[in-house]
Structure 1
Amino acid sequence: MAKESFDKEIQFLRMLSLTNGAYNRKQYAERLGISVHTFDKTTRRLKEIMQTVVDPRSGSEPSKEMTDLVRFQYGETAEPMLLFLYRAKSMKETEVQRLSVILHTLQGSALTAMELLDACCADLPEELALPDEKTIRTDLKYLEEVGVIRKESGGRPYRYMLQQDVLTKLTAQEQLELYDFVDIMANTQVPSVQGYLLRDSLKKAIATSYPEQEVTEPFIYKYHYYSRILDEAHLYTLLSAIRQCKRVQFVYFPPKKPSSYSSQNTNPRFEREAGGHANRILPLEVVYDHQYGRWYVIGYQGRRGFVKFRMEGITQMEELDAVDAAYMLELKQQWAEASRYSWLVDTANTVTVQVRFFHPESGQRNFILDRVRLQGQWGTITPETDHTFLYEIRVNGTTEIKPWLRSFGSSCEVIAPHRLRQEMIKEWKEIAQYYESVREDVQLSDHDEIE
């Protein structure tokens, strides 16, 4: 797989999603740490990928500008556009052609690696280099790992066949019910990319039974977090490294860095300083932040101890050597104790936060209390009056809990600690200033008058 290209395209799509076409070509290239020529080449590459995965029945126009294609509207969210990168997998053209021939050949019966090699040599275009036996066996191992094919029981030579029982042994109605379940789970749970890809496979199978009916679009979802899908590219690599007790290395771009990517230097004449920092860690845990849709990886890094990285800044990830399982378990136990009172991943000093919440107006459902019960983690709730209740929790620092408290608006009053209360007062005063009149002597017309 073209790993560098995949990292670059992930950051490219993230930039388009977040800025929504606000930058010109030069500004995009500078922010990404690439040349304008590379920016144009990446744009063409993504358009070519999109043309191969856009459903012609959907009415989408592959020729539209990339900045328009990543603008999420309610009517477009049933097909998250960022998924087209995963469908293409940033494979080289030779890989795409070869895997297509292998899967097409296995449609009829189970075959050996040598029989598939003969099929590739016969069916691949003349301009492409012919594969050898090692290449075919590598492809078969990859397809087996991702669950597309399976190895039949028996001795050598091993025979491979398509893994499609879930599609062939279900009735049309059962396939439709399975599709609806996968559709709901992929749009409401994390991780979601594999669910979306499974949904696409089910949709193709259902189309043979319901060719004229729009039975596969019963729900429409508003998708808010673009990074959630893009960062899943690193998720399974990290989970695999954690299971196997392996170290990983990567180049990291902190959120406050002016650039989010830097191309690998291949020509020494044009070598320049990279914008990211090389890191080598032993990953211990992956954490998802539901409030902001972000993934974090927790690791151990020698002298620095426990470290935390937002996965949106990770590029060029590679697995390294393995460590002793007992050592890994000990570090996990130490991290569990250090993060015992972390609202998310903060490891600052533990403080007790006390908050007064106000009930909504009488007659309304007490959605404030319901939300605090659902999201308040290990905090305790104590009724105070008919109109208020108290919430108390011990947390490591107040940085991570503050946005959650702020989201309640006037229904929440911070009592302690005093420093957090003063920070909230200061922030609300700043927000109030945004709504003050620019000029006091400006006369508003009748239709502009604010009630």
Structure 2
Amino acid sequence: MESTGTQRMRHPRLLRLITLGRGNETIETLAETLGVSEKTIRRDLAGLRQLGITIEEHLGHNGRKTYSLSRDSIEQVRFTYDEAFSLMLCRPGTGEFDGTLIGDASKSAFEKIRLALGANQDDYFQRISPWLHRSPGYGDYAEQRDVIDAITLGVEDCKATFIAYRSARSTEPVTYDIHPYGLAEHNGALYVVGHSCHHDEIRTWKIDRMETAEVTEFPFIRPANFNLSEHFKGAFAVIVGSEPVTVRIRFRGSAARYAVERKINTSQTATPGPGGSVDITVTLTSTIEIKSYILSFGSSAEVIEPESLRTEVAEEFQQAIANYTRESLSPLDNTVSKRE
């Protein structure tokens, strides 16, 4: 039996099986085909009905219940022409998910929309596609489809999950159990947010660094007040700290306009600074990620506060200057240069 893993991935297959079964599928046959328990199928059916999909139940001989999908349900999920056109035109790039269930489902869905729009519009999309560009900068998750599947199942079913994780500083993966609360995406990379049983705190893990993930049978209780949006409220991107810190950066020249145009945090405010500069102020709980952002502007950005971040940035620039002002290359560097 093939297990589809997560509820999100089972739902499309479950609906397809019911449709093709033409009223002959039972709880038992659906469970066997999907490789899950009958209890899971009943829960999935209830979830689909809550979404407004009408799944009809038929009582046959000897009390045997079968299921079919109402034609009205299919009508309810039809797009208007302009909705389908807009989806195709604005569809996000999914290259980072190629080879995973998420990527496969996305490609399948957009292919159906493309066919429904017809050949004329398909020619139009082919013609304008060279005019649209999205920066790549995403990970490749084709080889981690099992990891993503396990993590998503752990999130949906609130089950503790064992992960083998290689952090940026470690040379070997470390295995420990986590309680996955949810998934986050940043710049095409996927992250898992949850409780680390080993560290006894909420942490964020990058899926790219997970070598394996295995869902256990041990349930956990997700905190009722936990909300991903609130959790990341004080983050520059995905790293969250404990205490709020006010960060004020002075941007000069063309960088000032760019800084105003791009809002890096919901708490951001902008005030005029001396000599046409602009002061951007944000409240964060971690300054790790914003340091790289500041450094990317070179001399056009200056940290005004906090003093600790100002010192860190200054030390980075001093080290960079030292790297560029060395009197001569080391013997190893000379060897590499000659080979090149």
Query: After the TM superposition, which of the residue ranges 293-302 and 150-159 deviates more from structure 2?
Result: 150-159
Which aligned pairs between 1:122-161 and structure 2 lie closer than 5 A? Answer: 135-136=32-33, 138=35, 151-155=55-59, 156-160=64-68
Q: Distance in 2 between matches of 1:439 and 1:323?
A: 58
Q: Distance in 2 between matches of 1:133 and 1:285?
A: 28
For residues 168 and 324 of structure 1, do their structure 2 counterparts lie closer, same or farther at Cα, with a shift above 3 Å needed?
Answer: closer
Contact 2:271 2:278 in 1 (8 A): yes
Q: Distance in 1 between matches of 2:31 and 2:283?
A: 57
Offset from partner CA, 1:334-374 (integer Å, 9 cap, x none): x968x76443323265443221111429xxx9333212xx2
For residues 318 and 204 of structure 1, do their structure 2 counterparts lie closer, same or farther at Cα, with a shift above 3 Å needed?
Answer: farther
For residues 137 and 386 of structure 1, do their structure 2 counterparts lie closer, same or farther at Cα, with a shift above 3 Å needed?
Answer: closer
User: What is the deviation of 1:405?
Assistant: 1.7
Say which of 79, 96, 108 aligns to 1:197.
108
Query: After the TM superposition, which of the residue ranges 157-166 and 302-311 deviates more from structure 2?
Result: 157-166
Paired letter, 2:25: A
User: What is the deviation of 1:399?
Assistant: 1.1
Q: Distance in 2 between matches of 1:133 and 1:295?
A: 31
Task: Work out whether 1:248 is the aligned partner of 2:161.
Answer: yes
Contact 1:113 1:136 in 2 (8 A): no
User: What is the deviation of 1:133?
Assistant: 8.5
Which aligned pairs between 1:187-336 and structure 2 lie closer than 5 A? Answer: 187=93, 193=103, 194-206=105-117, 209-210=118-119, 214-217=123-126, 218-219=128-129, 220-227=132-139, 238=151, 241-257=154-170, 275-290=172-187, 293-302=188-197, 304-306=199-201, 307-314=203-210, 315-324=212-221, 328-329=223-224, 332=226
User: What is the deviation of 1:412?
Assistant: 0.9
Contact 2:234 2:244 in 1 (8 A): yes
For residues 430 and 369 of structure 1, do their structure 2 counterparts lie closer, same or farther at Cα, with a shift above 3 Å needed?
Answer: same
Q: Which gives a bigger RCO, structure 1 or 2 (Cα 8 Å, sep 6+)? A: 1
Say which of 257, 260, 279 aligns to 1:369.
260
* Count of residue correspondences: 293
Give the RMSD, CA atoms, in angstroms.
4.9
Paired letter, 1:276: P
Kindly indicate which of the two structures has a greater share of residues assigned to strand: 2
User: What is the deviation of 1:413?
Assistant: 0.9
Give percent identity, aligned residues only. 16
Relative to the length of structure 2, the TM-score reads 0.63
Give secondary structure in 1 for the equivalent of 2:254.
coil
Give secondary structure in 2 for the equivalent of 1:186.
coil
Q: Distance in 2 between matches of 1:289 and 1:248?
A: 22
Q: Distance in 1 between matches of 2:221 and 2:313?
A: 46
Give secondary structure in 2 for the equivalent of 1:250.
strand
Q: Distance in 2 between matches of 1:137 and 1:196?
A: 22
Unaligned residue ranges in structure 1 (runs of 5+):
7-88, 90-98, 118-131, 259-274, 441-451
Q: Distance in 2 between matches of 1:437 and 1:2?
A: 61
Partner of 2:333: none
Q: Distance in 2 between matches of 1:111 and 1:360?
A: 65
Contact 2:88 2:114 in 1 (8 A): no
Say which of 400, 404, 422 aligns to 2:293.
404
Contact 1:245 1:322 in 2 (8 A): yes
Paired letter, 1:251: A
User: What is the deviation of 1:387?
Assistant: 0.9
Offset from partner CA, 1:405-439 (integer Å, 9 cap, x none): 22333321112333422332333344456666998
Q: Distance in 1 between matches of 2:264 and 2:145?
A: 24
For residues 239 and 221 of structure 1, do their structure 2 counterparts lie closer, same or farther at Cα, with a shift above 3 Å needed?
Answer: same
Q: Distance in 2 between matches of 1:289 and 1:429?
A: 30
Partner of 1:96: none
User: What is the deviation of 1:388?
Assistant: 0.9
Partner of 1:380: 269
Relative to the length of structure 1, the TM-score reads 0.50
User: What is the deviation of 1:167?
Assistant: 11
Contact 1:295 1:310 in 2 (8 A): yes
Unaligned residue ranges in structure 2 (runs of 5+):
330-340
